[in-house]
Structure 1
Amino acid sequence: MGKDVYERMKYFVVEKIKPNYSAIARQYGVDPRTVKTAYLRAQNGETIVRNQRKRRSKLDRFQDIIKDKYTAGCSARAIYDFIVEKGFTGKYTIVKDYCRHFRKAQTKKATIRVEHTMGLSAQVDWKEQVTMTDQNGVPHTFSIFLYVLPYSKFKFLKLTLDQKQDTLFKCLFEAFKATGGIPKEIWFDNMSTVVDHKLSDFHHHRFNELSTPVIKCWKTPI
């Protein structure tokens, strides 16, 4: 029984109209008895649940192997070659697409939602450098200082000619003045003016000696 026929019969029931089974059957290309059954079910408030057959995939019996191998750092091509030896008869693109969807799903699970509190934190970052040419053909490169209050979504931007620490501190003071206060925490996005990347790894950060006294009460996200 088609859902369209059932929905039409629900309309007749709601409007208290006696349907012409034969006419409706011709309209939808079904048997009149099907229309009558749909009408009776609609009268009784029954719902139509269509049993959808789950299409089997050639990857079904290899999914656990693919997940284990991909998590271990194997490439989609290496995984494909491995499961082919185990009897897989599908194409490489199927394995590649499955690995891509699996990676997206794992990334989504690993995403942590941060709830922001009023006046607690601010986020600071240098955005991409922009080069513009003046009327004399001389190029000038600008950096964009961005200061964001996550709770209110307020943004303070300033064009600068460099990304030096003195420039950073001046921009911060202007941002404090523009927002009317200083947050308890300021999160920096691994800025070279704050963190020595060559002396830090993924888990630990080492602050610049010049910036440490100034940011010792601030935090950077790890």
Structure 2
Amino acid sequence: MNSNDFYQLKAELSVMDFTKSKPNYADLARKYGVDYRTVKKYHEGYKGKPRNRAKPSRLDPYKELIIEKLSIPRISRKGVYEFLIDQYGDSEIGSYSNFKAYCKKHKLKPSKGDASGGGDTRYETNPADMAQCDWKENMILTSRSGETFCSQYIPSGVEIL
């Protein structure tokens, strides 16, 4: 039944209600090419399916916490999701794809990090210009040539074994 037929059926039913005559559902069903139960349903006040449903998300109670955590510099959506899973469990929060969809729907994005917030700024160099390593505390390193390096200050006169 297209929308034009629907309005014509509603108009006919309104006229019958106004004149207090009982509608013949079978006759109207044949006229509009639908089942008689459909005509009866519309006569009794059925308005059609709603366009969308107003179902709340399971993440709505955590919206303020999500906003707060996403405002931390250099935090990722995945990091906030893992935090929520650790705090409230998988059954309360749901899947990561659901979390991403919720963030997208509510326009929740991680804040852009700035250099003053700590961490390293990424920059590119030519090959062999720089090297990076992690330096451990209380560790003694010896080069191939026998030179000894250590990661803390050793007073003079103390022998390194």
TM-score bracket for this pair, using the shorter chain length? 0.3 to 0.5
More relative contact order, 1 or 2 (CA 8 Å, 6+ apart): 2
Question: Structure 2 length normalisation: TM-score?
Answer: 0.40
Larger Rg: 2
Question: Structure 1 length normalisation: TM-score?
Answer: 0.31
